[in-house]
Each structure stands twice: as structure tokens, then as C-alpha cells.
Amino acid sequence: MPVKIAEEWLTTCGGCEITLLDVGEPLLEILPELEFVHMPVLMDHKYSGQAGENPGTLVIPEADIGFISGGIRHEENRHVAEEMRKKVNTLVAVGACANFGGIPALANMYTVEDIIKMAYDETETTDAHPVPDDDLPKLEERVSAVSEVVKVDVALPGCPTTPELYVQAITALLKGEALVLPERSVCDDCPMKREKKAVTEIKRPLEKPDWPADKPIEEVRCLMEQGYLCLGPVTHSACGGEEKIPRCIKAHMPCRGCFGLIREGANPQIDMMTALSSIGLNPRQIEDRRAMFNRFVGAQGRLRPLPQRR
Amino acid sequence: MSDNGDFEPKIVQFCCNWCSYTGADLAGSCRLQYPTNTRVVRVMCTGMIHPNMVIDALTKGADGVLICGCHIGDCHYIDGNERMKSRAATIEMLLEDFGIEPERFRLEWVSASEAQRFVEVVNNFVKDIKELGPNPFA
Ligand code: SF4
Ligand code: SF4
Ligand code: SF4
Ligand code: FES
């Protein structure tokens, strides 16, 4: 009997669903063992009552495995997450958004009131507009990761996560195991050359790194040592696929931290700022530090509106 | 001055083993009186205090963090206190980013013989935190 799969997207961009389709041929191999019973993005499942009105009309079928992408921004998201938890045996949180809040959680630096004012009133290009509220789910005070609302069994982080991780997770689940990613940092898997010499200035990623086309990656100097802010030291490694070369590094870009925390309870901003100072760089050179270090991990209390100074 | 009435702040105080902790010990032996608001944590050297420890304390209930180490030049591990000093700049930046008043963190040098100075440092910090009031970071 095929394994039943339900998929839901909450506050999400759809990139993590595209990644599932990107699995390509390996998907064809496992597909006969899978039965997708619910996936609004592909199957045109429509239901009313997302905001909790007309109880009983939101119907998610029972399934063995549930995937959720996206975090919780409003009460519909919460309702769907709770319903998924009730209907599936194993719940997999997919992507930076579902696991750490992702890009939408950058909004956690502001109050909902300020966000609404900005969107409907204060932006230069906006004509002040009454805020629509008929039949719309209420925004919550902050964006939460799925695990802050319901229990999550497997985490596939990344923005988006990778096709390889989808396959690994599904293959493991078919065998009745839960995929656990080893505790490694992006730097641990990065082949770039570290010279351990001090740098003094932080460059913008728009400048081109020193990366001669004819040199193998092992002989090119670490991007952080070249002065580009690279979150490799504080980011969980799993994005490299089979070659194990971190995804952005391969594209000559520094890591921006999309795979999130190396371990539970870590704080990438504290660790990264401490590491920067210890190699002689002044983190004051970095614009918008809070957003920069928490770009993908603003949920779970890491980003919040600053208290007013008395 | 603010009206913080009977506010009794909770202060985490890190003291290095070789100078400041010994200074605290001497203050005790001399029966010098000072407020009970500080909870002293002994560390081998201020150089081992990661900014995490300071931010953790201040985001999980402490009203202030006071770090005391050997005077510059006297560190028993040569330059641990120099490291702490440069790290203090990072801690101040982090406090800004976490929205915690920078006055809630202080770094002081107290030698093993400076019992009187130890008492003054604690007195001053407790007084300043009392004026500042409870830590708004809940
Ligand atoms: S993690 Fe990235 S790709 Fe996935 S839903 Fe969020 S924003 Fe989109
Ligand atoms: S800092 Fe970035 S470029 Fe340098 S080793 Fe780590 S991941 Fe690679
Ligand atoms: S290198 Fe960093 S930002 Fe890029 S995909 Fe990997 S974890 Fe994400
Ligand atoms: S031993 Fe006292 S500061 Fe290093």
C-alpha cells in the first residue's frame, strides 16, 4: 500500500514546493510508493473555513507523512498547522520559513500595528487606504516557526531546502526512520582555503571576490577572509548536495545563513559578532546588523521590536 | 532619579579566580558590608567569558551583569583581560541590537588586595541599576 502524503503551505513563497518538483528522476523512482492525498498547490484543493469560521469545513485527509512549508503569520496558518498535526503521523517542516520563520519573520522587528500602517498608509507610493478586515484571518503579533505551534518530527531547513534532502527524508521515512542531519557548520564542509590572516574591512557582496577562473576552489581564499560577511561559521551545513560544496559558495557568493541554527538554542548573531571581533573586524561596519544575522531565523524570539528606552 | 522604590535588582557578577574573586574573599574576611544583590560566578579568567553568557543573563532575568578581572598587565593568563576588554565593545553592540540599556553591563578591574575597591564597585553598580529600574527585557 502506498504511503499517503499531505502537503500544506502556510506563509510561504512556494519555492519549497518547486524544490519538491525539482527532485526530478529520483522522484519518479519513489513515486509509485507515494500517494499524494492533499496538496493545495498542485491539486486545487479548495476549502472554506480557514480562519476557523464554519468549523468542520476544513478537511485535510489523514496521511502518513505531512509536509508543511512556511511559518505562521495569521490565525488561518495556525488552524491549518494544527489540523495537519491531527491528521498526519509524521510531520516534516520544510524550509527556513517553517523551521525558523524565514524571510517573512524579518517583520518580527516591527509591531503588527506598524506593519499595517506602513502597508496601507505611510509608504510614499500608497494612497492611504482603510485596512480590509472582512473575512480575513487576523494577523498574529509575530511570525512563528511551525515548531512553536505544533510538534515537528523532522526538519528540512534551507531557503529553499534541497531536492536531495527531500529524497533523503522520504526514503528514510519509507523505511520508518526519521532523518537527522549531523551537527556541522557550512564552514566544516566548505573547501575554500583559510589563511588565518587578519582582515580589517567588511566589503559589500556586490563587489567581486578575488576568484581567478583557472584556480580550483580549494586554492581560492575563504570569502570571509576576503572581507565578505559569510555566515558559514554559524549556519547548519546540509545545502551542498552530493558534492558537499555549500550551494552559495559554489556560486561565488558568501553564505547568508538559510539553513539556520547549527544546534538548538544557538544564537547566530552573538556567535558571529564575537567571531568577527576576534579576527579584528568591527561589526559596526555592517549595515542593519540584526536583519543581516537573522535573515532567515527571525522566529523563536530572535527578532522582536526593540523596547522603547525609558 | 526614578521612583523605583523597593526594587532589589538581580545582578550576575563574574569574577576571575586570581584577582577579583580573591578580592571578594578578602572583603569577606575583613567583614566589609556590601549589598546582597549580586550573585558571584567564579571564572578562571575574564578572557573566558563569551558574550553569550552576558546576553543570556540579561535576556533571562538579570537586571545587570558586572564583570571583574585583574588590572591590565596583571592577568594570570597574560592577556585574558585585554581580550575581555576588546570583547566588551562587541557586547555593547549586542546590547544595542537586543534593545538592552548599555548601562546594565559593566567591566571593572579589581585586584586580590583591593577589598575596599571591590565593595565600592559593587555598591556603585547596585546603586546605578536601582536607579535604572527593572530590566524591561522580559
Ligand atoms: S524557505 Fe525560502 S523557498 Fe521555502 S517557502 Fe520560505 S522563502 Fe520560500
Ligand atoms: S567563512 Fe564562508 S567562505 Fe569561509 S570557509 Fe566558511 S563558508 Fe567557506
Ligand atoms: S551556503 Fe548558506 S545561504 Fe547558501 S544555501 Fe547553503 S546554508 Fe543557505
Ligand atoms: S586571570 Fe584575572 S582577568 Fe585573567
Q: Choose which CATH entry (3.40.50.700, 3.40.50.2000, 1.10.10.10, 3.30.9.10) describes domain A3-107+134-175.
A: 3.40.50.700
Q: Per-residue pLDDT averaged across B41-54, rounded?
A: 96
Percent of chain A with pLDDT over 70: 95
Compute the distance between CA of residue A162 and CA of residue B70 in angstroms, rounded to an integer.
Answer: 51
CATH number at residue B21: 3.40.50
Percent of chain A with pLDDT over 90: 73
Per the domain annotation, does B30 fall within a domain?
Answer: yes
Q: How confident is the model at residue A187, as a pLDDT?
A: 96
Q: Is the pLDDT of residue A278 over 90?
A: no
The structural domains of chain A, with segments of one domain joined by +, span 3-107+134-175, 184-303
Q: What is chain A's mean pLDDT, rounded?
A: 91
What pLDDT band is residue A48 in, cutting at 50, 70 and 90?
low
How would DSSP label each residue in chain B? ----TT----EEEEEETTTHHHHHHHHHHTT----S-EEEEEES-GGG--HHHHHHHHHTT-SEEEEEEPPTT--TTSSHHHHHHHHHHHHHHHHHHHT--GGGEEEEE--TT-HHHHHHHHHHHHHHHHHH-S----
Q: Per-residue pLDDT averaged across B107-114, rounded?
A: 97
Residues 6 or more apart whose CB falls under 8 angstroms from that of A62 comprise A4, A37, A87, A88
Residues of B in contact with A298 (CB under 8 A): none
Question: What φ, ψ does residue A17 adopt, rounded to 5°?
Answer: -70, -40
Q: Is the pLDDT of residue B31 over 90?
A: yes
Whether the CB of B23 sits within 6 Å of ligand 4: no
Distance A192 CA to ligand 1 centre (A): 27
**What pTM was computed for the model?**
0.90
Point out the ligand 4 atom lying closest to the alpha carbon of residue B44. 1
Q: Is the pLDDT of residue A44 over 80?
A: no
How many domains are there within chain B? 1
> And the C-alpha cell for A145?
516557526
Q: How confident is the model at residue A25, as a pLDDT?
A: 92
Q: Around Cβ A262, how many Cβ atoms within 10 Å?
A: 18
Amino acid at A198: A
- What's the CA dihedral at B41, B42, B46, B47 to 10 degrees? -110
Q: How confident is the model at residue B24, as a pLDDT?
A: 96
Per the domain annotation, does B57 fall within a domain?
Answer: yes
- Helix ranges (H only) for A61-138 are 75-87, 95-100, 112-117
Whether the CB of A230 sits within 6 Å of ligand 2: yes
Q: Do A307 and B136 touch (CB under 8 A)?
A: yes
Which of B3, B52, B129 to probe by mutation at the A interface, max A CB count within 10 Å?
Answer: B52
Q: Is the pLDDT of residue A303 over 60?
A: yes
Q: How confident is the model at residue B1, as a pLDDT?
A: 47
Per the domain annotation, does B33 fall within a domain?
Answer: yes
Q: How confident is the model at residue A47, as a pLDDT?
A: 63
In this prediction the ipTM stands at 0.85
Compute the distance between CA of residue A119 and CA of residue A129 in angstroms, rounded to an integer.
Answer: 9
Q: Per-residue pLDDT averaged across A195-218, rounded?
A: 88
Comparing CB atoms, the residue among B94, B133, B137 nearest residue A270 is: B94
Residues B81, B70 contacting (CB under 8 angstroms) = yes
Q: Residue B106 sits in which domain range?
A: 11-132
Q: How confident is the model at residue A46, as a pLDDT?
A: 62
What pLDDT band is residue A16 in, cutting at 50, 70 and 90?
very high
More confident residue, A124 or A16: A16
Q: How confident is the model at residue B3, as a pLDDT?
A: 55
What pLDDT band is residue A56 in, cutting at 50, 70 and 90?
low
Give the residue on A whose Cα is nearest the Cα of B134: A310
Q: What's the pLDDT tens digit per position in A219-276?
A: 999 999 999 999 999 999 999 988 889 999 999 999 999 999 999 989 999 999 998 8
Q: Per-residue pLDDT averaged across B65-77, rounded?
A: 97
Q: How confident is the model at residue A204, as a pLDDT?
A: 85
Q: Is the pLDDT of residue A158 over 90?
A: yes
Q: What pairs with residue A119 in β-bridges?
A: none
More confident residue, A200 or A93: A93
Whether the CB of A224 sits within 6 Å of ligand 2: yes
Give the residue on A whose Cα is nearest the Cα of B93: A284
Compute the distance between CA of residue B119 and CA of residue B104 in angstroms, rounded to an integer.
Answer: 18
Residues of B in contact with A306 (CB under 8 A): 99
Chain B positions with Cβ closer than 8 Å to A: 50-52, 55, 86-87, 89-90, 93-94, 97, 99, 101, 133, 136-137
Q: What pairs with residue A38 in β-bridges?
A: A6
Q: What is chain B's mean pLDDT, rounded?
A: 94
Percent of chain B with pLDDT over 70: 97
